[in-house]
Structure 1
């Protein structure tokens, strides 16, 4: 079989310089039908000869820049795999006596339109050019870090290579007998100029599919600019909260209005660009914290609350960012400043921001299963588009880890990118951390739409599944369709990353839906014939077994919490405790099997061990045994009678600013609700090597995403943490009189115990009523 691939040009879509939008779909269509039997068409001088009769005779010529070398090695490797015999050299020039084959030049385009704060038309910048002559191919990239991007575009658009996932398992490389490319000048003009896909495990793969992070930088940079050493020298630069200066922390803001601090940041930025002359952008992003300065001047700049329920600090933050950015532009006119419209700054400020600032609008667009959230985000995009901001983009959360479910937000991703592009966004960044078995098709969609936002989403989806899963594509697509369906039918109230690091993500995949997915996966496994398709489906099997076992562990633990202990037969409880133990053992085996067998960059499941404190098995088993003898309640205030009444209560409170902490007392009971992290605690002196039990009784209402847990920790006399133990109640909806208790032996060297009660992510309907707090010390 001979394959003559002359690109989409034969269809007439390429005429001089064109955008990628003009070529991608027709090219795919042509390539899919370009398998020809018999001899190839007669060669002529209108084509560059890449592969002839299965053989290559190529010279790759580079100038020697570091990324050009990497790009050339990738090109050599893949073109070598496309041919049955390859003769490909890499050099810095053509031999003096000439070269008998085709030369491929990889070079920086010195005539490329670069992007600066002064650029009037962003859509004409940073294009990739391909100049094809009978004996040479010129691959021209626009910026220092884009040589591999250019090779990726060349291999995809001219050679039919598909990069569907990292590594050999994820790359489709054709083996044509003949490959020739029509002569002419062609361009790829990406829709988004910044295209950070959030892929850190395989950077070259990311670049081959178009990743460009030239216009992103570090998030939450201020704690690194004003670091602990600087803050110690200038403590007044930190936020003052309720009259008290805060110590340096990654979780505390600076005083953004402080003029001396602003001068220091200007000098810091100037030094940064002087030491990093090739850097394109400088990050000015606040700490990831709600602990803002609340002195009168700062308070005057705050404007109520955002749509996501956070304090609106845009005027406070952007007045600082604006001043520093204008200074940077006076010193470095071509440089940019990286800024985030994130939680507290999601709204545009009441003034125009400097033209060298690129603002990324952060949103959990996975919440777009809610039409209300979609509409609110569209309005927010309009606000920024109409604010006079010259350059803006979107920041998304496309996990991946830390989700153990197939978080199929394919439709939400497609809508977000197209909607943002239409609103004027030209930059994109995200957090991904893919579970590749579940997320490869999402990354494929993402990379293609960022290159060309006009592409048809359904065609892209079908192309991926048909290419990647071949004869089993129908059943694998149905597997993922069920996952998308389960995500879309959610009826919990959307909240920022509601299920992030939450066991209750299993709630949206009840056993019935997992059984349906299992049936589709089994059909795909049965129908798989080719070795590559079999390997790819094995990856889904490895991951899906982990999903099922983790979901089963969650359901069994929740079942234990739902028992009415007083009228449930003891053997039922013991049977479920044993089932939890077995499920956890299966879960460990499934995770171990995944780690040992996956051919993708590994996802991590360590977080689920760290968050394994929802299991009440130990508490229930202890309660069913004869009661341990306890001598006394160690809490100095064994109820809430004096708490939060202005007196000297032993119950202390720690909370984030804007925690929306709601506390209501009724006799000895306390009703608690908090949006951002808040907790109550007592610290008491205890003895080492004794058993203690922290107990409370709770009633209330907890929906998906709301978190309530207790903690018992032990400290040395110097304040060193020796051990801690937690117990979290799952989202049960409405519940009454549930006991929560933690028992553990105080380690050697223990001097103090801290009994604490934590609440976070509670909405209007979420609350917990707490009664009978006690820290019992065992008497024998």
Structure 2
């Protein structure tokens, strides 16, 4: 790792070798000071003192430290820190009383003193970084020492008129992002709005007021304290309003300076299914294929807000800052409400605006933003998805970052949050560009990108720009119909990029390295990109070889045995190469993402290939299923949201309701039998079997399908001990993209681990698009008599 001392030595070196800057600062200025002829001009070089305020903060202290080190690197002398007195040639900080000016600043010159005036330490820090950026030419394009560079300062002298800036977005958060990068690029956190109801509706509360919890399938489940799995409260229950109101007031009493309290729904769709909720949401309406529960949840929010603000008077902090109750407009609550909102309810609009490549989605999303802006809320927030990891390829959409931020700002949205687990080499300019536009959305994004490429990559500006823009253009054209965070954690999402496109991108990196042979700093930056992209290339080959192996096995009758054997070896080799390099890369690169953001379970078709190469005889297999043909016994609705679903012997269906979702008889079964699944958001066909440890079993599936990009069909196997605890889990098959219009017989041999007592089998289908289907005409599981297997 590069130490802080080394970092600033690199800054000094960069300055010494570039005394004359060639890249202009194109950024739009909110201040337009004019030089006053005849008066003494104060230059940055003349600043000799920094008067540190007593009411500072760790953020301001870090900003001052950056300033001192940059002054030394730029001008050869580090100003002295003093805490009292009035000095000439000094930088000082002044507090103003109005806390509603959060993050804003005014820079004043009083003869030979420079004053940063703000309502809080955040504003002081922002003003100091503005000076470093505009007057000194400092830039932090990436985290770490390698991310720093200089541009030509926009002015030689400090302004004579007041220089005032206030951010376009009062909250500007990219999560998780390096804290130094965030501070230096004036990112911040002002409000809280993550999933939070599991912390309000607790197990202790369940023991005394079970009626405030949702009724699911006729019963109320005790919560476990999980925002992912705990059901939502019963939003129609008046006592639930009382509970949430008390939680908010208790929070504000315990934290008087807090400006927000989150009552955002848990991260699931486990809403109450009682008659009262049915009446509240009927007639059922849909938005983007999902039930519309916005009015249910935001009517609840209005009722809580009336108690917290209108009745209890918790409108402001003691310092005079406005308070809000925040709520995610998320998934089933994504559409705008038909009821006006209490002004202090802050809706948080969740949307993956990388999907703006789809013109229909883009138009719909803009209309949605306008509708929320007219809802009555005083303040609007947004939660976007700028990933980054876990995508293992360059997920580039700078065009949509710029267009969406400018549209959000123009529509009155001024609180921003996005997930961006940085994958610096593959993300490129995303984090810096977003930070710049969050501070000032009126800046010209094209000029910002030109500055980035010209400064950061120097002589390799053009091929490096082409590298990222090839990825962006290809994604725009080929990703297709928009969907919620499309291809997120999709092991085959890299199939979006053909080998030819990846080769074009590698060529640009090779060109860049050749152009920077005498520029070690910029060459090192390209190496970061190259190392990250090599992981993309290896993973693409790993996934391509896996999909090809599955395709060959599914066409085994037409495929020579030696071809499958060869492809199995190619798959194993590609997997090993990817795993070995990923381990080295994650361990040694300062710019690799955290392991938890990219390391995930992968499907492994080796069992499928081995089953084809060593076919089980009919006599060796003993079924444990009563009816592999899945005869429909009865039909029933799970609840008022669900379609009529078939009941089959032994197997169970769990699913998430969605518009046009249906499960009907197989087109290849005998009458009312089999399962044909269409328009599923997510559905699982599952069953648990008793088994013997260390014995061989086989799962047999006969199915036809149409699977488009982002539609996923997996087989999951979970081995359980006598207590029902998981011993191990595997994904022996993911069905490949494409069409298999006639049924294919699939056999998956499975070996139970030691101490296994049961196995849970799941066939999971998710994210089906129009025209997609999975048609299962047979589903069987049984033991294999190993003595009857062919000799290897």
Partner of 1:247: 222
Assess if the C-alpha contact under 8 Å between 1:133 and 1:184 holds in 2. no
TM-superposed deviation, 1:675: 2.6
How many positions carry a matched residue from both structures? 734
- Cα distance, 1:573 vs. partner? 1.3
Name the CA distance, whole Å, in 2 between partners of 1:337 and 1:80: 46
Q: Does 1:779 align with 2:766?
A: no
* 2:75 maps to 1:83: yes
Pick aligned residue for 1:627 from 605, 613, 616:
616
CA offsets, 1:129-169, max 9 Å, x none? 11123322222333354443332222112221112111111
2:185 is matched with 209
Is residue 2:707 matched to residue 1:702?
yes
Contact 2:44 2:135 in 1 (8 A): no
TM-score if structure 2 supplies the norm length?
A: 0.87
Deviation, 1:338, is 1.7
Q: 1:755 to 1:589 in 2, by over 3 A?
A: closer
Give yes or no for contact 1:48–1:133 (8 Å, CA) kept in 2. Answer: no
**Pick aligned residue for 1:407 from 395, 401, 411:** 395
Q: Is the 8 A contact 2:696 2:751 kept in 1?
A: yes
Q: 2:568 is matched with which residue?
A: 577
Instruction: Give the Cα–Cα distance (whole angstroms) in 2 for the partners of residues 773 and 282 of structure 1.
Output: 49
Cα shift readout 1:404-460 (whole Å, capped 9, x = no counterpart): 110001001111111122222222221111211122411122111112211112111
Q: 1:21 offset after TM fit, Å?
A: 4.8
Q: Which residue number in structure 1 is paired with residue 266 of structure 2? A: 287
Aligned to 1:734: 739
Identify the residue that residue 765 of structure 1 maps to in structure 2.
771
> Which residue matches 1:268?
247
State the match for 2:628 in structure 1. Answer: 638
Instruction: Work out the CA distance in 2 between the residues paired with 1:725 and 1:661.
Output: 28
Counterpart for residue 335 of structure 2: 347
Residue 682 of structure 1: SS of its match in structure 2? strand
Distance 1:398 1:622 in 2: 41
Greater CA drift, 295-304 or 519-528: 295-304
What's the CA shift for 1:599? 2.8
- The 2-side partners of 1:322 and 1:352 are apart by 9
After superposing the two structures, state which structure 1 stretch, 559-568 or 713-722, moved more: 713-722
1:161-198 CA deviation, whole Å, 9 max, x = no partner?
1121111111124799x964233321112222222222
Q: TM-score, normalised by structure 1?
A: 0.88
> Which residue in 2 is equivalent to 1:543?
532
Deviation at 1:642, TM superposition (A): 4.1
Q: Map of 1:297-336 to 2, 5 A cutoff?
A: 297-302=276-281, 304-329=284-309, 330-334=312-316, 335-336=323-324
Q: Distance in 1 between matches of 2:29 and 2:199?
A: 44
Task: Note if 1:230 corresponds to 2:205.
Answer: yes
**Secondary structure of 2:506 counterpart:** helix
Provide the rounded CA distance (Å) in 1 between the counterparts of 2:157 and 2:736.
Answer: 61
Instruction: State the alpha-carbon separation in 1 of the partners of residues 136 and 180 from structure 2.
Output: 18
The structure 1 residue matched to 2:64, chosen from 45, 59, 72, is: 72
In structure 1, C-alpha distance between the alignment counterparts of 2:44 and 2:688, rounded to whole Å: 75
1:62 aligns with 2:50: no
The worse-fitting range, judged by mean Cα deviation, of 709-718 and 360-369 is 709-718
Instruction: Give the direction of change, closer, same or farther, for the CA distance of 1:93–1:258 in structure 2 (3 Å limit).
Output: same
2: CA distance, partners of 1:161 / 1:654 = 55
- Return the offset for 1:698: 1.6
1:712–1:742 CA contact under 8 A, matched in 2: no
Q: How does 1:273-672 map to 2 (within 5 A)?
A: 273-302=252-281, 304-329=284-309, 330-334=312-316, 335-490=323-478, 492-528=480-516, 529-563=518-552, 564-600=555-591, 602-604=592-594, 609-613=599-603, 615-625=604-614, 627=616, 630-642=620-632, 644-645=634-635, 649-658=649-658, 661-665=661-665, 666-667=669-670, 668-672=673-677
| Aligned mates of 1:643, 1:631 — CA distance in 2 | 26
Partner of 2:89: 102
Q: SS of 1:131's equivalent?
A: strand
Greater alpha carbon shift after TM alignment, 185-194 vs 680-689: 680-689
Question: Are the counterparts in 1 of residues 688 and 758 from structure 2 also a CA contact under 8 Å?
Answer: yes
Say whether residues 1:138 and 2:143 are aligned partners. no
CA distance in 1, matches of 2:648, 2:579: 48
Which ranges of structure 2 fall in alignment gaps of 5 or more residues? Answer: 1-15, 317-322, 637-646, 787-792
Q: Deviations over 1:202-247 (max 9, x none)?
A: 22321221212103x1411111221334334433222112322233
- Gaps (5+ residues) in structure 1? 14-19, 31-40, 115-124
Per-residue CA shift, 1:77-135, capped at 9, x if unaligned?
Answer: 3323223232x3333223xxx64x52212344324644xxxxxxxxxx75211112332
Per the alignment, residue 37 of structure 1 pairs with none
CA distance in 2, matches of 1:467, 1:305: 51
Work out whether residues 611 and 749 of structure 2, in 8 Å CA contact, stay in contact via their aligned partners in 1.
no
Cα 1:305–1:203 change in 2 (3 A) is: farther
User: Residues of 2 paired with 1:618 and 1:531: CA distance?
Assistant: 48
CA distance in 2, matches of 1:410, 1:282: 32
- SS of the equivalent of 1:704 reads coil
Measured in 2, the distance between the counterparts of 1:644 and 1:723 equals: 34
Q: Greater shift after overlay, 331-340 or 71-80?
A: 71-80
How far did 1:485 drift? 0.8
Tell me what 1:186 maps to: 163
- Whole-Å Cα distance in 2 between the matches of residues 560 and 79 of structure 1? 60
Find the counterpart in structure 2 of residue 50 from structure 1.
Answer: 44
Report the CA distance shift for 1:207/1:492 in structure 2 as closer, same or farther (over 3 A): same
* Contact 2:232 2:266 survives alignment (8 Å): yes
